[in-house]
A and B are shown apart, each in its own frame.
Chain A
Amino acid sequence: MTENLNERICEGIEQIRCFRKEEGTRLYIKYMRKEILYSLKAPYRDDLRVTGYRFGFGEKTACIVGALRGNEVQQLYICSLLVQKLKELEAHGHITQNHEILVIPSVNHYAMNIGKRFWAVDNTDINRKFPGIENGGTTERIAAGVMECIKGYSYGIQFASFYMPGQFIPHVRMMETAHSSASLANLFGLPYVVLRKPKPYDTTTLNYNWQISGTNAFSVYTNDTENINEESAQMAVSAVLRFLTRMGVLKYNCHGGYIASVIREDELTAIHAERSGIFRPILHPGDEVVRGQIMARILDPYEGTVRENVMSPTDGIVFFTHQKPLVNQKDLVFTMIRRLHA
């Protein structure tokens, strides 16, 4: 396999590196392949190019997808860190034989580049169009084009975002289907694994369709979406490298991470605002809380008086917090993991 690496013709439209070089006595092999997996012409904008980075050769082992939405900057950043790290690992021969890893940092950067969240023309969400339709509408075609490239991998990892703006404890989320495996999700070494019963609108997400097509699919949530949070980005990169190491894909020395607690989404305690106004959180994801403790204050936006002290209904740990400075009455402001045992 190493005899003719310089002549190896990589699949795809563009290949940026495929060479070997000697450095002292050590052999460095670099063959990260950059490919355009899907492209779409626009009337007047530059083409939309969905770019993939392949590492290793052989069986389609792991596929990692970043920003499916235009506001998922943190997800894009995590992928860029991962590309750097995988490039380095591959150069040192630390990707084990017969394993291919594909990283797709961004799909909807058309929206990202103009400050939109969804497809900029019709405001449709590509993550609600899977598995896509080859001859369907524009975002259905994009989803179908991407799906064609990412199906067949043993493991699928998406850096995802929640539909409401907020901060999470970093966790792995999975749809509960016949194909889901919480024990595999544990191997990321993140503090929590959250299982979600699919609702009708979930059936068009990437995660769900990956699972239905036979891929073990995981969504990794970090603290932020629209802003870069360095600490949680590094945590996400470590989690993916740890998982791939434990699955025998990488040779990588990493911290063991957490022994994850597996929780079901419907077991989380939701706390909604009873009043609207300026939201001033006191507690943050990961904080411990006791029943009756003030978690946030909601202030009158004109007079600064306290309209509501948001109180904890139970002992537990803060899992999610509302992030925007304003809050509507009824908005979800916290979710908590109840402490089951004293």
Chain B
Amino acid sequence: MIQTIATIELPVDERLVLEKNRLEPEQKTGREKRVSLVTGIHGDELLGMYVLYEVQRRIEKERHKLTGILDIYPAINPLGIDSINRGLPQSDIDMNHIFPGNENGNLTEYMASQLIDDMIGADLCIDVHASDIFLKEIVQVRMQKQDEAKLLPYAKMANADLIWISASATVKEATLAHSLNMMGVPTLAIEAGSGMRIDKDYGDQIVEGILHILKQEGIWQGETTEVRTPDVAYAEDVDYANANASGVFMPAVNIGDWVCKGQQIGEIVNALKGTVEEIISAPCDGKIITVRQYPIVYHGALMYRILRKNSLAK
């Protein structure tokens, strides 16, 4: 059942509408658990669109096996999604910086507050992000250290390759995940793939994880697959390779590859002079968990994140 969460009048003959789809069991007892699946806070992150579609498709095929309530929020930033903007197109504001919002605030704060009001009371929330257009990430669950005890059991069921416990942008203050966690709704932030693209394999991996969690929570009685055992890493377990030259980045390794410290993993080249501006070497032994997708780089641009091998031994 499609429900309207909030609606706002735009200046000329258009309404901004925030919607969700509620899936309920055929026979309700009144004691069902409720899980929220959300995506599209950033208008350039589209992987979650496929994930939420596919979860619904599989559930609809065996609707009688749904034994809880599932709320699907596919487009928190509809204007951004429909205009290929990461933030809110009118103001450039990142919607994941304004939670929990304000009912008496401006358009974005109001929308955020209405969304939070609608989600309060859920037993679990899963917020699906992709990376931005610049990076590609392996399937990972992100959380802050303060939420580790509460969220780690859920995260281990998510079929992710990595659980990264650090104050990353996806989970820090003023994000949806942080706000809901503070308000008593356990919220997992999943990050995978790249912006403006849908990697179906990553999407299917996340779908399997969500269905597994739903089954463990007693919401879904259908078949699920065995989930992967993720690496668990803290902030200090991840190393970075940032550009020290400007130019065109040419990667030499792929996501998931193992690399040795000092190994050449890419170059920054100059197409005008035909020269190599920087040879990029791996800063440690480990596994590539992030690779830059957008080739033009300035000094400082992130090219790789590497999960340190010695952290895995821990």
Contacts and interface: CB of A to CB of B under 8 A. Distances in A.
Interface of A: 40-44, 117-118, 121-123, 135-142, 163-164, 199-201, 270, 272, 275-278, 301-302, 326-332
Contact of B107 (A141, A278, A331): A331
A200 B169 CA distance: 12
B93 A163 contact: yes
A126 to B, nearest CB: 12
Nearest to B244: A135
Interface string B280-314: 00000000000000001111111000000000000
Interface string B129-154: 00010100000000000000000000
B132 A330 contact: no
A146 B117 CA distance: 41
Chain B contact residues: helix, strand, loop or mixed: loop
Nearest to B11: A326
A327 B11 contact: yes
Contact of B298 (A138, A163, A270): A138
Chain A contact residues: helix, strand, loop or mixed: loop
B33 interface: no
Interface in B173-188: 173-174
Contacts of A138: 298-301
Residue from B13, B91, B104, B246 with most neighbouring chain A CB atoms (10 Å):
B246
B107 to A, nearest CB: 5
A138 B272 CA distance: 22
A141 B299 contact: yes
Given A278-B11, A329-B8, A272 B298 contact: no
Interface of B: 8-13, 16, 86-87, 90-93, 97, 104-107, 110, 132, 134, 172-174, 240, 242, 245-248, 270, 272, 296-302
Contacts of A117: 92
Given A136-B242, A137-B242, A301-B13, A270 B174 contact: no
B13 A302 contact: yes
A330 B110 contact: yes
A43 B248 contact: yes
* 3 residue pairs, one from A and one from B, having the closest CB atoms: A138-B300, A326-B11, A200-B173
16 contacts: A40-B246, A40-B299, A43-B297, A121-B298, A122-B132, A138-B298, A138-B299, A138-B300, A140-B300, A163-B93, A164-B106, A272-B106, A276-B11, A326-B11, A329-B107, A331-B107
A137 B16 CA distance: 34
A50 to B, nearest CB: 13
A40 B300 CA distance: 10
Given A41-B299, A164-B91, 20 more contacts: A40-B299, A42-B298, A43-B297, A43-B298, A121-B298, A123-B87, A136-B242, A136-B300, A137-B302, A138-B300, A201-B97, A270-B104, A272-B106, A276-B8, A301-B11, A301-B12, A326-B11, A326-B12, A329-B8, A331-B106
A330 B302 contact: no
A135 B242 contact: yes
Contact of B9 (A41, A121, A164, A275): A275
Contacts of B92: 117-118, 123
A76 B122 CA distance: 49
B11 A277 contact: yes
Nearest to B110: A330
Contacts of B270: 43
Given A123-B86, A137-B302, A278-B11, A330 B297 contact: no
A208 to B, nearest CB: 14
A163 B172 CA distance: 21
Contacts of B297: 43
A141 B8 contact: no
Given A118-B92, A326-B12, A327-B11, A272 B104 contact: yes
Contacts of A118: 92
